[in-house]
Structure 1
Amino acid sequence: MSKRLAAACAAIMLLTGTRSALAANVVLYSSNDVQTVNSVVEQFEKENPGIKVSVVRAGTGALMQRIKAEAANPLGDIFWSGGLSTIGAYQTHLQPYKSPEENAVPAHYREPNGLWLATNTHVTVLMVNQKQLQGNPAPKGWADLAAPRWKGKIVIPDPAFSSASYVALYGLKQTLGSDVFAGVVRNAVIVGTTSAAYQGVANGEFPVAVTMEYAAQQYVAGGLGEIRLVYPSEGTFLSPEGMAMIKGAKHPAEARKLFDFLASRKIQTEIFRKAFRRPLRTDIQVGTLSSLPPLSAIKIVPLNDERMENDRADFLAQWRKLVSAR
C-alpha cells in the first residue's frame, strides 16, 4: 500500500471513529416483536442522526428482573412496552418523566407521578375459524365455551407464561364466577405460548382461541376469510401496555427524546397500521384506519391492576389444580 493510500485510509477511519464518538447511545429494553422494534428504531435514528439506539429484547418479566438486578449500575435507559400491572410491581426502579405527549392519553392510563405512560392496549377476543365450526354456531360469549360441545376445541395459552392469557382468564373468573371458569378450563387445550394459540386457529387446528385482538386481526387483514373476531357478549378485558424511564439511566436526555417519539401520534398510528396494536391516544381513531370497532363500542369489564397482580400466585395455583384434575 502506498503512503498516500495508507494516509487516506487512516483519515477515513479517524473520521468514522469521530462520528461514532459524537453519536450518543441510548439503550432500549423492549418486549415488543422484532419487526415493530426494528422499524421504529430505524425511523428514530433517521430523524435523530446524533443518537444511536441499542436494543435488548426479552419478555416483560425478564426485563423487569434485569432492571432490578442492575439497579446499582443501570445499563438500560428506557423500557417499552409491557403490562401495566407488571411495570407497577417494579416502580421503585423507575424514573418519573412527564412527557408532553401524555395529555393525549386518558388520565387513568397514566401513572400520577409520571412513573409510566400507557401506549396501547390489547383487547381479549375469541378468534374463530368458521371453517372448523362445521356449520355449528360460533360462540357468542364466555359462557358458551363452558358447554360440553366445546371440549378439545378451544385453545388457550398457559396464563403462567402469557400475561394476556392471565388477564383474560382472571377477568373471566371475576366476571362469570368459578363454575363457568372451571367449565372453560375443562374444555381447553393448553399451549405454552400466545402465538401457538392464534396460529393454531389460523392453521385450522382448532375452531376457537382465547387471544388478543391484534393477533387475530392480522389474519383478517391478510385476507384469511374464515377468521372472525368475537367480542364476548358478557364483556371483555383490556391489557394496557406502557413504557417507563429507568431510574439512574446514563442517557436521560436521549431516553426522553425516544420516549416522546414512541408516544407520539405519528408513531402510534404507524404501529397500529402495521401491527394493529390499538393505541390509547384519544386523537387516533382506529375505525378510520381498519375494520376494528372503536373501543367505545366494545363492552369492557374493568379490572383492578394492583389486585390482579396481588392475586397472581393464588390464581395460578387454582389454575394448575383445575388443569391437573381434568
Structure 2
Amino acid sequence: MKKRTLAALCISLAAAGLAGCGGGGSSEAPKADGGQTQAEDKGEAKEDGGKLIIYSPLTESMIDSMLSMFEEDTGIDAECLAMGTGDALKRIQTEADNPQADILWSGTIGTVKNQSEYFADYTCVNEDAFYDEYKNVEGNLTRFDTVPSVIMVNTELIGDIEINGYEDLLNPELKGKIAFADPAASSSSFEHLVNMLYAMGEGNPENGWEYVRQFCQQLDGKLLGGSSAVYKGVADGEYTVGLTFEQGSAQYVGAGAPVKTIYMEEGVIFRGDGAYIIKGCPNEKNAQIFLDWLTSQEVQEYMNNTQYRRTIRKDVPSGDVMVSMEDIHVIEDDETDTAEHKAEWLEQFKDIFTE
C-alpha cells in the first residue's frame, strides 16, 4: 500500500472492530477493466498531473481502504483531507482563485447543488449503467451512490419503546436521548431535516415545521457537531436513537453491534451522493480517472458490500444489511426547490432550536 496522509480531522470510528468491518486493508482490491476506468490514459495522467488531493466527509476506514485500492489499480498517488461537507465547501470557495484540491468526494446533491459553480463539467464513462434518476444531467454533479436517511436505534437501551418512524421520536421517554447533528454542519442532518419536512408535511415542506418544532423540544438543547458523533453516540450507548444516514448505521449492524436501522414509515428520501471535480484543479485528468474508477462495476460492488454505501448502478444489488428499496416507503422532494431554500430552512431550524 502506498503511504498517504490523512488529516487530523479524519472522522474516526474509534472501535477497532468497525475499521475492519468497513473493508480495511485486508480485502483484495477489485480490478476495474480499462473500458470502465480509461486505463489507457493512466500513463499520460501521471505525467501531466501530480498527487490527487481530495476533500471528503467519509469515514476514515472507507477513505483508507478505497484510496489504497485506487493507488494500486491506477498507479496514481492520492491524499485525502477529511472534513465535514460544509467545511469542505467553504474551503473550496475560499480557494476558488487557486484551488488546492482536485475532488470533493461525497456530499449530497441537495447540499452541493447550490454551490455547483465551483465544480467542473465531466461525464464519467459509466453513466449508462446508472439508474436514470442518478445520472449527471447537470454536467458537473457525478453521483457515485445514493444515501437514504434512517433512524439508528440502540437495541440495548430502547427497551419496549417501538420506533417505526419520525412520529415515534416524540415519545416523552426519549427526550434528551436523541442524537442529532447541527444541519448547518452536517449534510446528513440537513437531509434529515428535508426528509422530515416532506414526510411530516405530507409532501408540502411548509406543513412539516410544526413537527420540527416538536422534535427540537425532544432534543432537550443537545445538538451535535457532526455526522459521526450521531452514529458513534448511539453505538456507544450515549444516546438511545439517532438520526443519521444509512452507512452510519449499517456499518455497525454489519459488525454485530447492538443497533438496528429503521427506515421511516412516513417516507424515506434517497439522495444521490456525489464526487465532484473542483473547477481549475491542478490534476483534472487524474480526477477524471478517479470518478471513472469509483463508478466502475467492480469498485461499486466492493463499496456496496463492504462499506455499506448503496450503489446507483443497475447491475449491482443491495448489500446484505441494507433493505431493498422495494420494501421501503420511498418519497421524493424537489431537489431544485430544496437547494434554493437551504439557507432559509437552516435559519428557520436555528430559530426554532434556540427558542
Task: Flag whether TM exceeds 0.5 (same fold).
Answer: yes
Q: Deviations over 1:55-95 (max 9, x none)?
A: 34333233333333333333433332212123322322322
Q: Deviations over 1:205-256 (max 9, x none)?
A: 32211112211112211112x3121111111223321112232333333222
Gaps of 5+ in 1: 1-20
Q: 1:62 to 1:161 in 2, by over 3 A?
A: closer
1-structure distance, mates of 2:129, 2:68: 25
SS at match of 2:136: coil
SS at match of 1:89: helix
2-structure distance, mates of 1:24, 1:64: 23
The match for 1:47 is 73
- 2:301 is the counterpart of 1:269: yes
2-structure distance, mates of 1:143, 1:192: 24
The two structures have a TM-score, normalised by structure 1, of 0.83
Residue 101 of structure 1 and its aligned partner are, at CA, apart by 0.8
Residue 121 of structure 1 and its aligned partner are, at CA, apart by 2.0
The structure carrying a bigger strand percent of its residues is 1
The match for 2:43 is none
Residue 118 of structure 1 and its aligned partner are, at CA, apart by 0.7
Q: 1:190 to 1:87 in 2, by over 3 A?
A: closer
SS at match of 1:96: coil
- 2:185 is the counterpart of 1:153: no
The match for 1:84 is 109
Residue 322 of structure 1 and its aligned partner are, at CA, apart by 2.2
Contact 2:49 2:282 in 1 (8 A): no
The match for 2:195 is 171
Residue type of the alignment partner of 1:159: P
2-structure distance, mates of 1:241, 1:308: 15
The match for 2:235 is 202
Matches within 5 A, 1:68-217: 68-134=93-159, 136-176=160-200, 177-188=208-219, 189-217=222-250
Contact 1:78 1:245 in 2 (8 A): yes
1:302 is aligned, of 324, 332, 346, to 332
2-structure distance, mates of 1:71, 1:125: 34
SS at match of 1:157: coil
- 2:319 is the counterpart of 1:319: no
SS at match of 1:81: strand
Residue type of the alignment partner of 1:212: F
Gaps of 5+ in 2: 1-45, 201-207
Residue type of the alignment partner of 2:223: I
Q: Deviations over 1:20-53 (max 9, x none)?
A: x96942423231233322322222222223x322
SS at match of 1:182: helix
2-structure distance, mates of 1:322, 1:63: 26
Contact 2:86 2:186 in 1 (8 A): no
**What RMSD over aligned residues (CA atoms) do the two structures have, in Å?**
2.3
- 2:282 is the counterpart of 1:257: no
Contact 1:147 1:183 in 2 (8 A): no
Decide which structure has the larger Cα Rg and report it: 1
Contact 2:149 2:263 in 1 (8 A): yes
The match for 1:65 is 90
2-structure distance, mates of 1:45, 1:114: 26
Q: 1:153 to 1:253 in 2, by over 3 A?
A: closer
The two structures have a TM-score, normalised by structure 2, of 0.77
The match for 2:64 is 38
Q: 1:323 to 1:29 in 2, by over 3 A?
A: same
Residue type of the alignment partner of 2:324: P
Contact 1:218 1:275 in 2 (8 A): yes
Q: 1:149 to 1:179 in 2, by over 3 A?
A: farther
Residue type of the alignment partner of 1:311: H
2-structure distance, mates of 1:72, 1:193: 28
Contact 1:110 1:118 in 2 (8 A): yes
Contact 1:182 1:322 in 2 (8 A): yes
SS at match of 2:223: strand
